[in-house]
Amino acid sequence: MIVNCGNVSTLPYANKLKLIAGKNGLDRVIKWVHYMENPEYVVWLKGGELVLITGIIIKNDLGALIKIVDDLNNKNVSGLVINIGPYIEKTPQKVIDIANSFNFPIFELPFEVRFIDLSQSICKAIFMSRIEQDSMNDFMKNVIYNYKSYSQEVTNRAIFYGYNPESIYCTVIINVDNFTQIVFNNGIWDEELAFRLIQQINQIIVDIMNFHDKNSAIRIVENNSIIIMIPIEHIKGNKINLLANEMINRIKYKLKYINISIGISNFWSRLENFKYSVNEAQKALKILKTVKNKTHICSYNNIGIYKLLLEIEKKDEIKIFYEEILGKLIKYDMKNSTKLVKTLKIYIENNCNFIKTSNALFIHKNTLNYRIKRIQDISGANVKNIDDLLNFSMAFKIKNFII
């Protein structure tokens, strides 16, 4: 279980917590618990903490309490627990209103509950969750990259982590495209931010998978990606792409500053096929980066001719093919400042339809006709010949792939 503000109250001693603000921020992951009374110590927080206060210093100072909430939220703290008692009798409504505007969770805790008991309970759960996640990560990465054979012992351990030999699976890889830019802080890698970011995404995925099926799919964290084994029988109509869209939309809603891409494999069942499905999903992600279109989801099953290009080891040979097919047109465009290559590309994308192509290029049909004739004269190809059109289409795909 990933411990967050939404499920923390299920832990021992935490069942006395009463949520009074920030209900829309309950998915904030709790990385650790920190007891803090002096407001000046906020600067030492790293983010992701659940902060506990009694108010022994600030007491019922409304301005000081408002500033603490504002400062904690700016430090990306997960939430605040106020020990209601002799120092802070009740959380002021203004503080509640500000916390709600931030989606910043605030809990009240009766004074008779000891902070030490609450802190130990939460920290133990965080520690055990981290051990479980790391253990599953290490094992599943061995399944993907290292194991040459799959004994019954390996299968049994996979079953322990949630694998079902009777299920059919699809592998989905969620990649954070701008991960490096986010976690580099003034040229220094922010390990705390990197961990918190992946955990936040992980929690969103858990919530989505629990909505579709109570037994969550297996998740493996790898650098800036999360690999998920999804049993497809729990997805209505096996609409994996719809599920992927749901993931992207929910992640973008919660974390507006990150860019997500998703690669999807074919279906598989046997554990030894998992590594091949991961490879398929990774290839789908590579194609997404290659074609650079507006979509953020790619299925290996739909990458078409790119499957062949990915398998060709001698990249120089396909580059030679590209230059043989488009080289003359490229040189002519460069020398004469024309747009014959672009015209040809749009013409093919519009299924050789003159009206659609001229509209897309904002040119007259006569101008398009002239350009097509020039393309044929320079290249020596016939745009009405299916073989020549196939060569041109392949050349443009190669351009995306290697140029």
Q: What domains appear along the chain, each with residue ranges and CATH number? A: 8-122 (3.40.1390.20), 156-304 (3.30.70.270), 312-402 (1.10.10.2840)
Strands (E) across 146-288 are located at 169-176, 184-185, 188-189, 218-222, 225-231, 260-268
What would the pLDDT profile of 61-81 be if each residue is shown by its tens digit? 899 999 999 999 999 899 999
pLDDT tens for each residue of 165-201: 988 899 999 999 989 888 887 778 888 788 888 888 9
The residue ranking higher by pLDDT, 316 or 60, is 60
- Average model confidence (pLDDT) across the chain: 88
pLDDT for position 272 = 92
Average pLDDT over residues 15-22: 94
- The strand pair at 18-21 and 106-110 is best described as antiparallel
Please give the model's pTM, rounded to 2 decimal places: 0.72
**Segment 34-61 mean pLDDT:** 90
Full DSSP string of 65-116:
HHHHHHHHHHTT--EEEEEESSS-SS--HHHHHHHHHHT--EEEEETTS-HH
Is the pLDDT confidence value at 236 over 90? no
CB 3 within 8 A of CB 26: no
* Sign (positive or negative) of CA dihedral 344, 346, 348, 351: negative
Q: How far apart are CA 52 and CA 33, in angstroms?
A: 7
